Amino acid sequence: MKQINTEAKILFPEPCIIPEEFIQCKQIQIPKMCAYYVIFGFLLFLNCIPYIQQRERINLFRVAIVCGVDAAVIGGFKDNKFYEGYPVTLNDVFPLYFKSKGGKVIVNGVPYRGNLEIKKFGEQIWVINAVNIEDYLKGVVPCEIGQITKNLLESAKAQTVAARTYAYAHYDQYQELGFDLYATIQDQVYAGINAEDELINIAIKKTRGEILTYHGRSIEAKYHSTCGGRTADFNDAWPGIAPAYLRSVKCDYCQDSPHYTWTKVLDRNSFFQNLRSRLAKIDINLTEKEFIKGFRLIKNPVSRHVVKVILETTTNEYPIETYNVRTLLGDFNDPGGLLKSNYLTIKAKGDSIIIDGQGYGHGVGMCQFGAIGMARKGKNYKQILYHYYPGTKVIHK
Ligand SMILES: [Zn+2]
C-alpha cells in the first residue's frame, strides 16, 4: 500500500496545475476509452479461454480404474437419465459417458468422485474416471500411507505433496490410450471414495495445489515403504540418468517399520533351484549341463545397496544388473514376486543360505515409514520432503 501511495504522489504532485484542456480532453475521452477498455478486455478474455480450459484440463486427471474386461456395471447419469446399475457390455456403442449423481459415480459397486468415460480397446472394456486432482488424492493418499493419527498429520501432508507431484509428472503419460494414470501400483493405488479418511482429507486441503520442484520443474517423486536405514540412489534401482534429488540419504526414522530388517533362510538346494528358475525370468537360460558355481554381490559404496550380481557357472559368467537383482533373488514360493529390497547381505551357514535384508521397496526417494517417524519427532512436511529429496522446493502449481 505504501508503494502505491508514493507512486500516486509522483504522478499527481500538483493537481491544481493540470491544464483545463487536459481535463476537458479527459472528460471527452472517457466514454471512448471505456469502450476501448471493454473491447480490449473482451478480446483478452477470448484469448484466455484456451488457457482457462487448459488449466481446468490440467487439474482434471483421467485414471484407468477398470482395465480390459468384458463387462462392467455402472451407476450414474447417461444422456440425462440416471441408472442405478447400467450393464456395459461389448455390444454397446463406445465411448460411453456417465456423469456423477451427488458428486459420485459407481463402478462395479465402488463409488468414485468425478465422471466416467468408458472405451473399448481391442475387444475389451476400459473404464476411465475423470477426476479433479484434489479428489483423486483423497482416494490415493490413504492407500499409500495407511491410517494415521492426528500427531502424524505432517507425514500425510508430505505424502500428499509427493503423490500430487507424481501425478503431475505423469500427466498424459498414456496418451495413446487416452488416460494419465493407472489406479494400481503401476502408478499410484487409487481406491475411490471408500478409501477416503477425514484426517488425510485435512492434509490434502492444507497442501492444496502444492508440488515439489527442482530448479523450477516438478520432480519425479519416487517413494517406497521402508528404506531400512539409508535410502537408495536412483541407479541402485533403475538405469539411466539419475536426478540430483534422488540420491541416497541416511534415514534414522523408520526403525518402527516391520520391514526395517528381515531374514530369509533357505536350504542350499532350494536356493540354487530357485536361482536357476529365476534366471530364466530375466532371459538367462542355463543349459542342463551348466551349473552355478557361485556369485558375487557388487554394492554401491555409499548406499550399501546391491547394484550388481556376478553369477559364475561352469561355463560362463553373467553380470546381472541392479534392476533385475530383486527379481533374481525373489521369493521361491512366489513366482512373480520380488525380493523385499536389494539392501542385503547373503551368507552360507552349513546347508543353509541366509539372506539378511533391510527395508521394503525400491528404496528411492521418500521412505514412508521414515516420513511417519519424522512427523512423530515433530518435523513438518517440508522438512520431511527436503530430507528425502535434497535440493527441492515446494511451490504452488
Ligand atoms: Zn527409512
Task: Supply the pLDDT for residue 274.
Answer: 86
Task: Supply the pLDDT for residue 280.
Answer: 86
Phi, psi at 149, each rounded to 5°: -100, 165
| Residue 370 CA to ligand 1 centre (angstroms) | 4
Q: Is 184 helix (H, G, I), strand (E, B) or coil?
A: coil
Task: Supply the pLDDT for residue 33.
Answer: 52
| Residue 194 CA to ligand 1 centre (angstroms) | 29
| Residue 5 CA to ligand 1 centre (angstroms) | 53
Contact 319, 239 (CB under 8 A): no
Q: Taking CA 218 as the corner, what is the angle to CA 171 and CA 259, rounded to the nearest 5 degrees?
A: 90
| Residue 360 CA to ligand 1 centre (angstroms) | 10
| Residue 83 CA to ligand 1 centre (angstroms) | 47
Q: What is the pLDDT along the chain (397 residues), one digit of tens a residue?
A: 333 332 323 232 333 333 333 333 333 344 455 555 555 555 544 454 443 444 455 789 999 999 999 999 999 999 999 999 999 999 999 999 999 988 899 999 999 999 999 999 989 999 999 999 999 999 999 999 988 999 999 999 999 999 999 999 999 999 999 999 999 989 999 999 999 999 999 999 999 999 999 999 999 999 999 999 999 999 999 999 999 999 999 999 999 999 999 999 989 988 888 888 889 888 898 888 899 998 999 999 999 999 999 999 999 999 999 889 998 988 766 766 889 999 999 999 999 999 999 999 999 999 999 999 999 999 999 999 999 999 999 999 8
Task: Supply the pLDDT for residue 49.
Answer: 45
One-character DSSP codes across 16-69: GGS-HHHHHHHHHHHHHHHHHHHHHHHHHHHHHHHHHHHHHHHHEEEEEEEEEE
Task: Supply the pLDDT for residue 46.
Answer: 47
| Residue 368 CA to ligand 1 centre (angstroms) | 7
Could you tell me the pTM of the whole model? 0.82
Task: Supply the pLDDT for residue 108.
Answer: 97
Cα–chain center distance at 194: 20
| Residue 369 CA to ligand 1 centre (angstroms) | 6
In angstroms, the CA 217 to CA 358 distance is 32
Which residues share a beta bridge with 82? 77
| Residue 301 CA to ligand 1 centre (angstroms) | 18
Task: Supply the pLDDT for residue 37.
Answer: 57
| Residue 385 CA to ligand 1 centre (angstroms) | 13
Kindly tell me the burial class for residue 255, based on how many C-beta atoms sit within 10 Å of its own C-beta (0-12, 13-18, 19 or more): middle
| Residue 381 CA to ligand 1 centre (angstroms) | 15
Task: Supply the pLDDT for residue 242.
Answer: 97
Residues in Cβ contact with 322 at an 8 Å cutoff, skipping those fewer than 6 apart: 235, 236, 237, 238, 239, 305, 306, 307, 308, 342
| Residue 359 CA to ligand 1 centre (angstroms) | 8
| Residue 4 CA to ligand 1 centre (angstroms) | 51
| Residue 211 CA to ligand 1 centre (angstroms) | 22
Indicate the domain borders of the chain.
Answer: 59-133, 139-177+184-225+362-397, 261-358
